[in-house]
Amino acid sequence: MMKKLAVLFVLIAIVTSCKKERLTAKGPTDVRVKNLTDQTFVNVTVDTGDEEQIIGTIESGAVSSYFRFETAFPKAEINAMINGIQYSTGTPDNTYETYIGPDMITYEVYISNDAARELKISNVVLDGPIQDL
């Protein structure tokens, strides 16, 4: 009897210790970036306001891999080096923005003002619900 209880206890401990990531209205959100320009983006970073991640290099017309963020908004700060010069979308004010939630999205980014070194998010594409949770 004691052996059965010990086995049952171990099984319960194993099952309860396997936690899946919890979905909330805030996220997580899988984010990627699409380069809409004819230039290569180097050292791309995305800052959603709560966290920043290094995305890497994105060739002209290409899309990065997805990166998981705990929260994301329709606006984000995206920075990239283009021909050795730093470009940025600037820091958005997400005070009254709604979280994207547990979805996969793509920020489509282009150069809005080359002289001012400004990037802009032209569109946020909803790619579908978040995967592999």
Q: Is residue 15 part of a domain?
A: no
**Please, what is the Cα angle at 73 between 69 and 75, to 5 degrees?**
120
Q: Is residue 12 part of a domain?
A: no
* pLDDT over 90 (residue 5): no
Number of domains in the chain: 1
Q: Which two tokens stand for residue 115?
A: 């002289």
> What is the DSSP annotation of 6-52?
HHHHHHHHHHHH-PPPPP-SS--EEEEEEE-SSS-EEEEEEE-SS-E
The total number of residues shown for the chain amounts to 133
Identify the pLDDT of residue 22: 74
Residues 6+ apart with CB under 8 A from 117: 85, 86, 87, 88
Q: Is residue 4 part of a domain?
A: no
Q: Is residue 64 part of a domain?
A: yes
Helix (H, G, I), strand (E, B) or coil at 77: strand
* Structure confidence by residue, pLDDT tens digits, 8-64: 555 555 544 454 557 888 999 999 999 999 999 999 999 998 899 999 999 999 999
Least confident segment among 7-11, 88-92, 113-117: 7-11
Task: Mark 50-89 as b/e (b = at least 16 C-beta within 10 Å).
Answer: eeeeebeebeeeebbebbbbebbbebbbbbbebeeeebeb
Q: Is residue 73 part of a domain?
A: yes
Q: Is residue 54 part of a domain?
A: yes
CATH number of domain containing 44: 2.60.40.2890
Question: By residue range, what is the domain housing residue 96?
Answer: 21-129
Q: Is residue 91 part of a domain?
A: yes
Rounded Cα–Cα distance for residues 9 and 5 (Å): 6
Q: Is residue 1 part of a domain?
A: no
Identify the pLDDT of residue 24: 87
Rounded Cα–Cα distance for residues 63 and 57 (Å): 10
